[in-house]
């Protein structure tokens, strides 16, 4: 499990798994969750931060060291973010590679 890399407590991992499988309330009925977390769920910000730390933050730091020419800034708050570049070409290269990376993690 992806979260097992960042969370050592088995009890917490079990609780998160139950939360992800709990489903959502839709028109008075519980509908099984098939993918992801309902937007606005209490746990969503925690899981978004764990996911984005690994999938975006750490990767962007490596990308900056290997590929950036000039300034590169990454600002992220919870699941919102802005990435700034000196050139449009760098921004386009980053976007293509970020899309590939995000696709790997669904």
How confident is the model at residue 69, as a pLDDT? 82
DSSP secondary structure, the chain, as one string: -GGGGT---HHHHHHHHHHHHS-EEETTEEE---SS--TT-TTHHHHHHHHHIIIIIIHHHHHHHHH--S-EEEEEETTEEEEEESSHHHHHHHHHHHHHHHHHT-
Distance CA 13, CA 96 (A): 32
Flag whether pLDDT at 67 surpasses 70. yes
The pLDDT of residue 1 is 55
Q: According to the model, what pLDDT value does residue 88 have?
A: 93
The pTM of the full predicted model, rounded to 2 decimals, is 0.73
Once rounded to an integer, what is the mean pLDDT over residues 71-100?
A: 92
pLDDT score, position 42: 77
């Amino acid at each position: 499990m992806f979260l097992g890399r960042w969370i050592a407590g088995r009890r917490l991992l079990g609780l998160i798994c139950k939360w992800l499988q709990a489903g959502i309330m839709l028109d008075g009925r519980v509908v099984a969750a098939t993918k992801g977390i309902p937007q606005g769920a209490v746990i969503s910000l925690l899981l978004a931060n764990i996911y984005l730390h690994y999938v975006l933050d750490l990767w962007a730091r490596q990308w900056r060291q290997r590929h950036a020419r000039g300034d590169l800034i990454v600002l992220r708050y919870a699941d919102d973010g802005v990435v700034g570049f000196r050139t449009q070409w760098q921004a386009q290269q980053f976007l293509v590679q970020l899309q590939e990376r995000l696709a790997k993690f669904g």
